[in-house]
Amino acid sequence: MVAQTDLEHVLDHTRELWDELRGERLFITGGTGFIGSWLLDTFAYANERLCLNASALVLTRGRHDNRPGISFHIGDVRTFVSPKGEFPFVIHGAVESSTDTYLDDQFDVITRGTQRVLDFAGRAGTKKLIFLGSGAVYSGTSPYADGKRIGETTCACSPVPSVIARLFCFVGPYQPLDSHFAIGNFIRAGLAGGPIRVYGDGTTERSYLYAADLAVWLWTLLFRGAPGQPYNVGSEEVVTIGELAHRVAGAFHPAVKVEIEKTPEPGRVADRYVPLSTAGAIQLGLRQWVGLDDAIARTIRWHGGRDGQ
């Protein structure tokens, strides 16, 4: 469970949205990973605090213990047996972005899985679906990026009203510290006492939205987003990977050492993966509330408390 302050932060910024879910059922795919765990924690908190009497059914490949208002439905997103009854709201995000997850069938999981979920939603009386896409659709050429592009198109061609959330980079509790996310690797190295190693030249540009803000964005898009509209989801606070390493290192006391392996090449254009979040900001009042340094500190506290470090 994430910190009470984070749960309150999400509820404070979404309180007026939840009445649409009162007494209703929500179906979630991809509800057991980093983002899904935040959605379940914040749903459970709002459900209890606001006495919504709502329920969430989460599609999962493995067994999980039920929680108040939350139960699990075993199945593969491509072939699952449709649960009975109506589900007015659906959140579809059932694929990891990691390059080594579903290595052989990642494209198939995204494309067939999206069609399967839309077919189910069409029978379940769904009035709003949010598709968790990726900023990789702008420039990526991987099976993951290609699958997300097709997933967006599939949603756009479906009669089910669908909002597209193009996700960028995030940081927060539940984020794995041993995957392809640089910030997670940096925090893991810091928790171990350092050094934090950057294997490139440190000039790559990224931005990181704290997971509590991410949850605010996703719940707002589900309930208030315009069907057919793609929304970039992420921070516009640009940081190079080298700067990020030093900011993570400085969050520890004492600060840990940073090692940057390569020297930048003169004139080389840095790789950049940063969203322009204008639509969400203008239409829905969404923004970044938690700054990067605070986000790093909160994530370190959560992982340190969990691991006893």
Query: In sequence order, which ranges of the chain are alpha helices (DSSP H)?
Result: 4-14, 34-49, 106-123, 143-156, 182-191, 211-224, 241-250, 278-284, 292-307
pLDDT at 234 over 80: yes
Q: How far apart are CA 163 and CA 152, in angstroms?
A: 9
Which fold does the domain 4-307 belong to in CATH? Rossmann fold (3.40.50)
Quote the crossing angle between the two packed helices 182-191 and 241-250, to the nearest 10°. 30
Measured CA distances, 250 to 134, 246, 298 (Å): 30, 6, 13
pLDDT band at 307 (very low <50, low <70, confident <90, very high): very low
Q: What is the pLDDT of residues 26-54, one digit of tens each?
A: 999 998 899 999 999 999 999 999 999 99
pLDDT band at 99 (very low <50, low <70, confident <90, very high): very low
Mean pLDDT computed over 65-88: 95
Q: What is the pLDDT of residues 282-300, one digit of tens each?
A: 899 999 999 999 999 999 9
Fill in the amino acid letter for 239. Answer: V
Percentage of the chain with pLDDT > 70? 95
Which residue is it, tokens 């209890």? 48
Q: What is the pLDDT of residues 121-157, one digit of tens each?
A: 999 999 999 999 999 999 878 899 999 999 999 999 9
pLDDT in the model for residue 179: 86
